[in-house]
Amino acid sequence: MRLTPVTADDSAYLAADEAVDHTHPRVRETADRLMAGAEGDLAAYARGAYEFVRDAVPHSADVDDWRLTWRASDVLTQRIGICHSKSHALVALLRAEGIPAGFCYQKLNVLHGMIALRLPGSTRWVRQDARGNKPGVDAQFSLDREQLAFAAWPEKGECDYPLLYAEPHPVVLRALRHATDRAHLWHLLDVAL
């Protein structure tokens, strides 16, 4: 899918904010460890960061954990999150090493969050879905073709939103900040943007 960045300011896709707190010691420590394993190769680092968030941070619904996280540092500390939270953590890890990354969404039966990254030197944004795999879900890191957790089915009213946001969408942040637990979140989170 071809994404349209909401801003032409490339620095926006490297910035830290309250949710993408990539200067936090927990994020920096994780990024440093992953970069050491990638031996300085940014493509290998991006894959390693993706696989770490996908595999080492369970999706809270898959493991029936009611805790909510929304700051990248909290996701990495508590090792739990929904798709949106995991996206915040992955974007923070990528930006921590100078890889532009942003947020994109799908309207499924819920609002699903993913990220897109652009390796330095490339002009192409590539979506990645670190939601976490389970039976029936096989998302993989790829710079050549997408292998996301879910396909949107337009005939069911689903869609891939074409915009790439530099910050988490306000609809998502508002719900994550105000929900008391995961069950409450499902009542607060809009189904569409």
Confidence of residue 59 (pLDDT cuts 50, 70, 90): very high
pTM of the model: 0.97
Mean pLDDT of 122-142: 96
Mean pLDDT of 135-160: 96
pLDDT at 110: 94
CA atoms within 13 A on the CB side of 51: 12
With a CB cutoff of 8 Å and minimum separation 6, the contacts of 182 are 60, 61, 65, 66, 67, 68, 82
Q: Does residue 11 have a pLDDT over 90?
A: yes
pLDDT at 28: 98
pLDDT at 1: 87
Q: Give me 66's structure tokens.
A: 């009611």
pLDDT in tens, 71-90: 999 999 999 999 999 999 99
Q: Give me 16's structure tokens.
A: 């830290």
Question: How much of the chain exceeds pLDDT 90, in percent?
Answer: 96
- CA distance readout (Å), 44 to 39, 50, 82, 114, 181: 8, 10, 25, 19, 35
Element (H, E) at 105: strand 101-107
Confidence of residue 20 (pLDDT cuts 50, 70, 90): very high
Q: Does residue 98 have a pLDDT over 90?
A: yes
The mean predicted confidence, pLDDT, of the chain is: 96
Confidence of residue 50 (pLDDT cuts 50, 70, 90): very high
CB atoms within 10 A of CB 151: 10
CA 23: distance to chain centroid?
A: 17
Counting beta carbons within 10 angstroms of the beta carbon of residue 137, is it exposed (0 to 12), middle (13 to 18) or buried (19 or more)?
middle
Q: Give me 98's structure tokens.
A: 């100078």
Mean pLDDT of 149-156: 96
